[in-house]
Structure 1
Amino acid sequence: MNRIKAGVPRRAGRRVLAIGLPTVWGAIAITYKMACPLAQQNGFGARIVTSAVFFAVGTGLIVHVRQALLRELRQVRRVAGAAQSVLLRPLPPRIDGLHVSAAQLSAERGAVIGGDLYEVIATEHGVRAVMGDVRGHGLAAIGTVAAVLGSFREAVHDEPDLGGVLRRLERALARHLRERARAAPDSPVAEEFITVLLLEIGPDGEMHALNCGHPWPYRLTGTHVEPLTHADPLPPLGPFPLPPDLPAVPCGQLKPEEALLLYTDGAEDARDAHGRFFPLPIVLTEALSDGVNTPQPLLGTVFTQLLRHTAGRLTDDVALLVLRNERTQVHYNAPIGARGTARATTHNPQPTNHPQRNGV
């Protein structure tokens, strides 16, 4: 039995219209010029009519081309939106007692995806998050984002420590770059790199992180904003191999009602017309002082101030991720777990009036 895809006749019809309408308009103009007696006259009135006919033909062609381009643009945006929903899938508003919200802005006008990546997943090892920034833009960057995120989503469940997760990401990136080099020998894959921040938040709020060239998150406590840690990061993934030992950096405890803001460097590197950098810590402090401390409104405030600072002209992609601890109680129960730490159970309040979708 032969199967015919439903979209084929529709696409064929569009091709016929794309070719047929300009042909019809051209045939009308030629027929008028060759067959209409009025077009053969040289009087002033005849010239006005002839000009009007050709003006109408030209206008029709322009309108047709414009509509065809708009249809193509809408199709490209639908495809890009579908790609974004797979790569940067919307995060649930709550993950294991953490209130979560994330969003990103692309520096390219009309684009919906770029070289930034983020993900948050609850595992038996704790809530694990990644924030990354791929060098460059376009399809090559999107392919790298897909490779790294795919590896992260599997590794966080398999690897008992963050060092194992990071090595899995390094191997996935290396495989992706080798495949790109084989497919396009002239592509400068040797210059490709990605900054990555891995974060783990245990049931008791204890945090550990591994950082490869990425900005450290900000801890938001009341109206106070400070970097999560001042430890030196590792080099970005790609140009240099990871060291043999990868101990995670202890970052203290995320207490109830405290939050973290993870971001890509496009936020703090954004400049205004006078070359001044975007004051992200100041904007966060002012927002917290005004009572804006829940994730989604906080993201909206930061993005609004960022666009105002740059007059809407971003030069780099920006991604933001807020994790707020809304666990109210922590109970420690014996016996000791297999990883050598007391097992903790948390009481998480039921969400009320939380946003139904992620983003700004």
Structure 2
Amino acid sequence: MSQARDHGDDHWTTRRPFRSLKNVLPVLPLLIVAVVALVDIVGGAGMIWLPLLAAGPALAATTNRPRGVLCVGLLAAALSTALGVQDAVRGRELLAVLSAVVAVTLASALTSALRRRRERVLADVRSVAEAAQHALLKPVPETVGPFRAAVRYSAAAAEARIGGDLYALVATPYGVRMIVGDVRGKGLPAVGTAALVLGVFREAAYDEPDLLAVVGRIERSLARNLGGDDFVTAVVAGYPRPGHLEVINCGHAPPLLVRESGDVVPLDPARPTPPLGLRALSGEAPSLQVLPFADGEQLLLYTDGVTEARDQDREFYPLAEGLARHVSEEPARTLTALHDELLAHVGGRLHDDAALLLLRKPPLPEPVAAAAADTDADTDADAAPVAP
């Protein structure tokens, strides 16, 4: 599967500078204690520097376990005692310094314990979120039916790893079928709606010979479960037979068709259709477009988190131009380049969920293509009406 966990396979790798910094931070409290002690030894300032030794265990609370905090605090207390005796600090003042170091150490140890507990809870939540993501947004294999496929998905809430964008790609008795959509809103309600849409789609895609019937079942399910202001924009597409692409666009951004020449063409709907969940208000039924889809061509479905991503100058990301620049024979490579360019465009962090689904129909070898063409011609001849 080619899938981002920004879903970073990629909305989640740790960069090397941050890994290096993470390795240095646990040692930083010891360095601070050592620097304060060195300054005191060199300057001989006595009480001026000794209270700063408490900064060591205080900082350790953010990077170390409670045992590490206590060790740093013990070192700070020992050094403050030794330096206080060396600098002839009065007993009452030295006792005040030791009391401050001990108090800060104990408070920091407690803070460290609470921090580690929160980290464990967060790790559990992220583990559950990943399991939910795999159940909701199932991995897309590299090959589905006659297509090579790839997916990149980035949730705006990076810790949650799932959001309101949805996608699915399934091989059915009626050909390969797919959906890419965007639920209005964010958070858990959007995730619940996305789960509902995907569940109905996966079931209906196998049962319904007609792609319009698949959309109808999703619409009826949403009508029973959504509120009056909720809706889902989506593109539902199918490849029922060689050379024919069916597209139903329900208020969503138009898919992009990449011709074998490299030209990128938006597949604008012939008749606008309202988003899923709003048919009862508009009274309009979805329309089915049947378009040619030749071997070697590619189809990109995406959500508005991609096209509405802005840079620091508030300029939208030019998806069609980016796709034309990075298109290749490997969908995974194309989407990796697109995703990296998108993140660079926005400065490294998306502010909306974004999904990309790319399909490529590899050209058939010449003997196989000739046999397929003969089969299609025979099928068309058999289906032609006989004159009386």
Same fold (TM over 0.5): yes
CA distance in structure 2 between the aligned counterparts of 1:122 and 1:336, rounded to whole angstroms: 22
Tell me the C-alpha RMSD between the 2 structures: 2.3
Give aligned-pair identity as a percent: 38
- Match for residue 174 of structure 2? 125
Asked if structure 2 preserves the Cα contact closer than 8 Å seen for 1:228 and 1:251, the reply is no
Asked if structure 1 preserves the Cα contact closer than 8 Å seen for 2:176 and 2:238, the reply is yes
* Structure 1 portions without partners, runs of 5+: 1-20, 26-40, 178-188, 342-360
Q: CA deviation at 1:315?
A: 2.1
- Match for residue 206 of structure 1? 244
Answering whether residue 137 of structure 2 is matched by residue 88 of structure 1, we say: yes
CA distance in structure 2 between the aligned counterparts of 1:121 and 1:319, rounded to whole angstroms: 17
- Match for residue 317 of structure 2? 278
CA distance in structure 1 between the aligned counterparts of 2:284 and 2:99, rounded to whole angstroms: 81
Answering whether residue 338 of structure 2 is matched by residue 302 of structure 1, we say: yes
Whichever residue aligns with residue 269 of structure 1, its letter is E
Whichever residue aligns with residue 121 of structure 1, its letter is V
Q: CA deviation at 1:299?
A: 0.8
Q: Which structure: greater helix fraction?
A: 2
TM-score where L is the length of structure 2: 0.70
Q: CA deviation at 1:248?
A: 1.3
* Larger-Rg structure: 2
Asked if structure 1 preserves the Cα contact closer than 8 Å seen for 2:144 and 2:170, the reply is yes
Select which of 278, 291, 296 maps to 1:251.
Answer: 291
CA distance in structure 1 between the aligned counterparts of 2:145 and 2:276, rounded to whole angstroms: 29
CA distance in structure 1 between the aligned counterparts of 2:187 and 2:324, rounded to whole angstroms: 34
Q: CA deviation at 1:203?
A: 2.9
Deviations 1:3-46 (A, max 9, x none): xxxxxxxxxxxxxxxxxx9xxx9xxxxxxxxxxxxxxx970111
Asked if structure 1 preserves the Cα contact closer than 8 Å seen for 2:153 and 2:354, the reply is yes
Give the secondary-structure state (helix, strand or coil) at the position aligned to 1:267.
helix
Q: Specify which structure has the bigger relative contact order, considering alpha-carbon pairs within 8 angstroms and separated by 6 or more residues.
A: 1
- Match for residue 191 of structure 1? 229
Deviations 1:336-359 (A, max 9, x none): 59x969xxxxxxxxxxxxxxxxxx
* Structure 2 portions without partners, runs of 5+: 1-65, 71-89
- Match for residue 58 of structure 2? none
CA distance in structure 2 between the aligned counterparts of 1:57 and 1:269, rounded to whole angstroms: 49
CA 1:275–1:245 in structure 2 vs 1: closer, same or farther (change >3 Å)? closer
CA distance in structure 2 between the aligned counterparts of 1:58 and 1:320, rounded to whole angstroms: 48
- Match for residue 350 of structure 1? none
Asked if structure 2 preserves the Cα contact closer than 8 Å seen for 1:97 and 1:327, the reply is no
Deviations 1:94-151 (A, max 9, x none): 1111001112101123221000111111112111111110011111011101111110
Answering whether residue 270 of structure 2 is matched by residue 269 of structure 1, we say: no
Deviant stretches of 4+, over 6 Å: none
- Match for residue 313 of structure 1? 349
CA distance in structure 2 between the aligned counterparts of 1:200 and 1:238, rounded to whole angstroms: 21
CA distance in structure 2 between the aligned counterparts of 1:109 and 1:246, rounded to whole angstroms: 34
Q: Which structure: greater strand fraction?
A: 1
Matched length: 287
Whichever residue aligns with residue 132 of structure 2, its letter is A
- Match for residue 14 of structure 1? none
CA distance in structure 2 between the aligned counterparts of 1:244 and 1:273, rounded to whole angstroms: 39
Give the secondary-structure state (helix, strand or coil) at the position aligned to 2:355.
strand
TM-score where L is the length of structure 1: 0.75
Asked if structure 1 preserves the Cα contact closer than 8 Å seen for 2:250 and 2:286, the reply is no
Q: CA deviation at 1:233?
A: 2.7
Whichever residue aligns with residue 103 of structure 2, its letter is F
